[in-house]
Each structure stands twice: as structure tokens, then as C-alpha cells.
Amino acid sequence: MVSKMGVSQIRAQLVQAVKEGDEAGARSLIPQLGAGPRQVRAVLEVMLADADSLVRQAAAFGLGELGGVASARRLEQQLAIEESRGDHDGAAVIEDITQALGRIKGGIARAGLVRRLERLARGTPERSEVNELACVLWKQRHPDLLPSVRRSLETLSLPEPHGLHGLWVLLEKSPVELAAWARDPTVSLCHKTRALAVLAEDVPDTLVPVLPAFISAAEPLSEQLLMQDREALYFYDNLFRLLLRHRERLFVSFPQTARESLRTAARRMITATFPNASPQAASVLEIAGRPEDAAFLEAHAPEYPVLAKVFHDAARVLRNLH
């Protein structure tokens, strides 16, 4: 049995770990809050009612890890309380509750997120709120989401496109249809970018073969266009972030043509963003490049040492390919 003094110390450590973004450390502390899931849940539920928003954020993380119907229901109840606060602290807790509900599998958590979406659609939400929720709903993807997403798209007053448009495309289209959509030059880049931003949260195996279609959509984007068109730059950036986030699974699956296209795209991005060249593009070139790209990377390394290291490390990897 954990003493009250011990629980207090573990609580404080949990709050600090969540504050610092140390999810692994936070996960290791949660079971230490009690002698079993029931006691752990009781401690977390007390924390969720704390006046300190950092404590509430830690509790939300903990309940999301604990999972289950009881956690989902308590989190949704707290979500309504935080929404009613209308302040900065409440907004931070809302973000953590949303993420926590996204980690709890099952219809109860998904229904809570849908109700959150419908409340947002009736109000005047920030674009960031909608984008975040779209990503969380993608992790909870299910055919039952389609009607709610459609209604919310019709109701939301935000300028198009936003994350919910990306979510709709991913939910509504089959892999074959999505690949055709990604290659379609009549579909705007900004819509494709929103789909990539949502897809980056979780790339299911069924959609891995679709990614070369998004890569091919980057081929017509010249260096000049990247310098002039912010949306083209966003498309490249989101494509690279997705690929690097799941690099272990994705790059080995791509055909050589897709890897060559990525090499070209990465070099274009570096040239277009020089002298503050994109470190994401350098990391992509490290994987998809050739030994002769090493000199190119060295020549385009930014002055800032931390970013320059990304370029120099990538160049060293490519030189060692000989």
C-alpha cells in the first residue's frame, strides 16, 4: 500500500513529467499512485478537480493511459467544465483531455470527441482547435464518424480548408480513390496539405501504398514556386514531416521512383529555403539521396549550429554510402 506521503510525492513527479513532456516518465509513475487500477483512478479523479491546471493536465494524461469506460466518461465530464471556464488554463486542459480521449479505444471515448466537435461547430472555434480535434478523431477513425464530420463541415464558419476537410477526405475515400485524389492536379495543394497533416498522426498499413501519390504531387512544384507560394512550401513541409515521423516503416516500402522524386523534392526545398534551409528536407535527403548530395548539403548548411549539425550529419551518412 502506498502511503499518503508517497502518493503526494508521486503526484508531484507526475505533474512535473507531464509539464516537461516526458510521457515515458509519466507512464511509469501512474501505476505507483495506488495498489491497483481502482485506487489509481481515484487519485487521478481527485487530481482532475484540482484548482491548479497543471495538476488537471497530469490527471487527464493519467486517465487517458488508464483507459476504460469510466475514464472516458470522467474526462468528457471535465471537458465540459473546462470549456465553461473560457480561460487560457482551461484551454490547456482541454487540449490534454482531447488527446487523452483519443488514446482510449471504444465508442464511449469516440462519442465524447464527436460531441466536442459538434459544440465547436456551433461556436466560433480557433483553427488550431479544429485541426487538433481532426487529428485526434483520425486516430479514432470509424465509419460512424462520417455523418458528424459532414454536419460539422456544413456548420463551421472557419475559412476553408482546415483539418476537418483533411479528415473527411481520409475517412470518405478508399485507398485507390485517395491516391487518385492526391494525383489530381485540379485538387488544390492546400486541401492535400490538410489531408497530410491529419494523416501524419497515424498512417495505417492500408494507406502506405498511397503515399507515392502525394510524393508525385510534389514533382511539378519548382524552386521558384516554393519561394513565391507559401502553400507549396506548406505542402512540402507537411509531406516531409509525415515521412520522417514514420520513417522506419515508410521509406523501405517506397519504389525507387518515389525515392528519386523525394530526392529531387528535398534538394528543391533546401535551395528554396536557403540560407535558412529546411532541416526536414536535409533529413529526407539523408535517406533518399546519393553520395554526390553530400557536397550539396555541406554547401547549404545554415549558420545556426544546431541546424547545421543536421546537414553535416546527413552529408556524412551519404558519403559513407560509397
- The confidence score (pLDDT) of residue 2 equals 57
Cα–Cα dist 48/63, whole Å: 9
The total domain count for the chain is: 2
Burial of 154 (0-12, 13-18, 19+ CB in 10 A): exposed
Q: Does any domain span residue 217?
A: yes
Q: Does any domain span residue 174?
A: no
Q: Indicate if the pLDDT at residue 269 is higher than 80.
A: yes
Q: Does any domain span residue 24?
A: yes
Candidate from 9-13, 138-142, 198-202, 318-322 with smallest mean pLDDT: 318-322
**Spatial CA neighbour of 119 closest among 100, 140, 98, 142:** 98
* Structural domain ending residue among the three candidates 65, 80, 104: 104
Q: What would the grid cell of residue 28 be? A: 511509469
* Structural domain ending residue among the three candidates 104, 135, 155: 104
**In Å, what is the CA distance from 68 to each residue of 43, 73, 141, 273?**
16, 9, 18, 46
Cα–Cα dist 58/44, whole Å: 8
One domain for residues 211 and 100: no
* Structural domain ending residue among the three candidates 62, 84, 104: 104
Q: Does any domain span residue 130?
A: no
**In Å, what is the CA distance from 310 to each residue of 16, 112, 236?**
30, 41, 18
- The confidence score (pLDDT) of residue 35 equals 87
Cα–Cα dist 312/308, whole Å: 6
pLDDT band for position 321 (50/70/90)? confident
Q: Does any domain span residue 161?
A: no
Tens of pLDDT, residue by residue over 232-263, are 999 999 999 999 999 999 999 999 999 999 99
Chain Cα centroid distance, residue 185: 26
**In Å, what is the CA distance from 107 to each residue of 44, 134, 138, 161, 169?**
22, 17, 14, 28, 22
Q: Does any domain span residue 272?
A: yes
pLDDT band for position 5 (50/70/90)? low
- Domain span at residue 51 reads 1-104
